[in-house]
Structure 1
Amino acid sequence: MFRRFRRAAVAAAATAMVPMALALAPGAVAEPEVHAAPVNIEDFAITSEVPTLAELDAQIRLLVATPAPDWVKANQLEGGSRAVVVPKMIYRVGFFRPPKGSSVVTGPETHEPDRHTAVINASRQGSPTVQVVAEWRRIDGQWKLASKSLCNGIKTIGLPIPCNFE
């Protein structure tokens, strides 16, 4: 009888874990929130003529607050696969992702046909908010975070990463 109860308890626990596992699976959002990463991160691309703050914010969250595959992150960066080391390290150390950190993209913004700027505000528990004026470049119809912005972020945060992906 104990074994049957134990099996039933394990089965019930496993069934209860399925929604949680699906919520944490790549391409899904673990916590529904206003600034959540896109639901299908593998298809994420900012292709509008003028990117919105919400789109830029979602892209930054995809880069630094999700365990997205390298190729997905590379697709969001002007430096491509050479530049993935930066968001990977920021994600790994957890600077700007819940539960101890956060980020939000705000204005002021500037816009030119193939260049857009906004401010990335990133904070972590116990530290002041870091503000980086970031630039996005429109490459092949998609807005990508500029390499020069990654270099500015590396310097601002003090990461031990050479800026050699421009």
Structure 2
Amino acid sequence: MSTFTDPHLFVSGNLALNFIGTVGERRTNRIERLTTADELGEWVVAAEILDTAPDCADALDRATALREAAWRTMQTVLRGEPLDAADRALLESHARDTLPELTLTADGAVRRGGTIDSALAAIARSAIELLGSPDRDRLKECGRDACTRLYLDTSRGGSRRWCDMAVCGNRAKSKAFRARNTEPAQ
């Protein structure tokens, strides 16, 4: 079972949103889930961008800058405001890099190879493609007070409230239950 602090929690419905989700509780108790170059490489593999962890020795700062620009851009969209020029430029710059190389093996398996820059290009393109698609209107932020994870609401009625029912939904429902069933102090 995944936990809220698990860096490999892929519940957002979009590669860029999952990458943004490597920081949790941004407004209260910021939880950074990618603190080393090795963790970045592990995330790239877990996200199935590349099959093996690339050399990320000099990439952590660039990756976190991309992630924060994507976060600010998505927040701007949620507020209905114009996109920031510097954040757009950073996303576009990464998106221009070469994408991961896909090859087919003799038995039809897909192999994904490339560098950390190609992985970041895939993430940036995912963000840009989301922003330019009708799915942009399905972008939401988790309804649990402490959680700031973004996700695409693909529910039939567009009524999904939490990034993940097993993590945030259960926490929110438990908190509400406790609040309803706590006896008032005498």
Give the TM-score of the pair, scaled to structure 2: 0.26
Which structure carries more helix by proportion?
A: 2
Which structure carries more strand by proportion?
A: 1
Give the TM-score of the pair, scaled to structure 1: 0.29
| Larger relative contact order (Cα-Cα within 8 Å, sequence gap ≥ 6) | 2
